[in-house]
């Protein structure tokens, strides 16, 4: 299709066209002139975005069912959004990951930051898992899967349809095998000297969280000879990295028995099983129980799910982060280390740091921040989109 054949969506006179010109990737429904015609557009279809003076700004993917009405795809008005276009974005993303990592285990596409808005692709060797969290990607899923195979050479492509983002877009929850076959067993993933077991079909999100890789590595530097507690451990995240770094013993706490089973399998695969222990239960209850036992650890790390997934949940989320810090701090031996993490984009670094420091103080402890960590470079941050820099990790010496 030529640009003239695309439907047009237009910004309201008071909308900030300059933000789009300067790289903003989203336009919300309240920023657009919406009428019966625009509301009838097929979710995922391509349109031309114009400013109030009818100047073309970008090609966008629209979804009248979403608060994010338009997602910027390309500022070249002659671009064809097809398999070749997708392959170009994938090639650009792959080139950077190939420079950064010596094995094909990483986030290949980090949505807007890699030029594919709403799309997440994680790579696990010869298998890739796509989360198409925007309607346009759902419409072009076949082309995306073909381009992914052509560019990366992966044999298997899976679709993961779980998550809040797809619900907000009005999309289904039907996961599928798009190309090849689903692995019939957890996939071993080497990171930071440890082996993680990723369940690509039944695990959380795409099966493993690559974003914490540099923070795992930092924690491992603190762990030689240490007793380590990893709370909200999932498949052994910080615990296995610390054991690979020479920890004397690590205890993983999580509410999911399947996740802990994968953690134990990872410890076994890495020859660490004799130094590894797990406990299943609610993290707050387990922290309280360990405190009542008088347990002490040299390194304690808490990596909870997003307590503040939206602005509406911010205050409750900050109270939860403060409570985690208050319960975890007494478990840290004098001179030991406390790592606290947040994947809530609504809680910025300053607010998160304030909540954590307050919680440590309420526990009667004091500490110095020795490191502030973020997601790895396979999760690039788009400067115009604060949400792409969601992960924060604070390391205190108490």
The catalytic residues are 343
Greatest Cα pair distance, the chain, in angstroms, is: 71
Let me know how many helices (H) and strands (E) the chain has, helices first.
Answer: 12, 19
Handedness of CA 266, 270, 272, 273 (dihedral sign): positive
**Tokens matching residue 233:** 């451990």
- Cα within 13 Å of Cα(48), Cβ side: 19
List residues bridging with 342 in a β-sheet.
Answer: 392
Minimal CA–CA distance to 220: which of 243, 195, 254, 187? 243
**Tokens matching residue 148:** 């992914």
> What is d(CA 54, CA 119) in angstroms, rounded to the nearest whole number?
29
Three-state DSSP at 255 gives coil
Relative orientation angle of helices 314-328 and 349-362, to the nearest 10 degrees: 40
């Amino acid at each position: 299709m030529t640009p003239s054949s695309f439907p047009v969506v237009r910004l309201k006179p008071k909308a900030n066209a300059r933000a789009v010109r300067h790289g903003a990737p989203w336009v919300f429904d309240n920023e657009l002139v919406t009428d019966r015609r625009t509301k009838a557009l097929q979710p995922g279809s391509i349109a031309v975005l114009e400013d109030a003076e009818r100047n073309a700004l970008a090609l966008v993917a629209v979804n009248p069912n979403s608060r994010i009405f338009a997602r910027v795809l390309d500022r070249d008005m002659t671009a064809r959004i097809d398999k070749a276009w997708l392959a170009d974005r994938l090639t650009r993303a792959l080139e950077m990951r190939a420079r950064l990592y010596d094995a094909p285990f990483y986030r290949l596409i980090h949505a807007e930051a890699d030029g594919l808005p709403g799309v997440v692709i994680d790579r696990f060797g010869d298998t890739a898992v796509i989360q198409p969290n925007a309607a346009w990607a759902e419409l072009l899923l076949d082309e995306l899967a073909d381009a992914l195979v052509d560019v990366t050479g992966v044999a298997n492509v899976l679709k993961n349809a779980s998550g809040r983002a797809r619900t907000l877009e009005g999309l289904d929850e039907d996961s599928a095998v798009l190309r090849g076959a689903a692995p019939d067993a957890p996939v071993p993933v080497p990171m930071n000297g440890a082996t993680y077991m990723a369940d690509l079909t039944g695990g959380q999100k795409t099966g493993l969280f690559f974003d914490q890789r540099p923070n795992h590595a930092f924690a491992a530097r603190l762990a030689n000879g240490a007793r380590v507690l990893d709370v909200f451990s999932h498949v052994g995240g910080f615990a296995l990295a610390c054991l690979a770094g020479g920890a004397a013993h690590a205890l993983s706490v999580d509410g999911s028995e399947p996740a802990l089973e994968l953690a134990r399998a990872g410890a076994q695969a890495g020859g660490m099983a004799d130094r590894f222990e797990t406990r299943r239960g609610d993290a707050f209850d387990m922290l309280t129980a360990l405190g009542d036992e008088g347990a002490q650890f040299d390194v304690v790390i808490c990596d909870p799910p997003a307590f503040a997934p939206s602005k509406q949940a911010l205050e409750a989320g900050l109270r939860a982060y403060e409570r985690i810090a208050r319960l975890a701090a007494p478990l840290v031996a004098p001179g030991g280390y406390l790592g606290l993490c947040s994947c809530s984009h609504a809680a910025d670094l300053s607010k998160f740091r304030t909540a954590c420091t307050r919680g440590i103080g309420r526990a009667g402890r004091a500490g110095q921040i020795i490191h502030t960590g973020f997601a790895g470079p396979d999760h690039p941050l788009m400067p115009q989109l604060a949400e792409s820099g969601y992960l924060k990790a604070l390391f205190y010496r108490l």
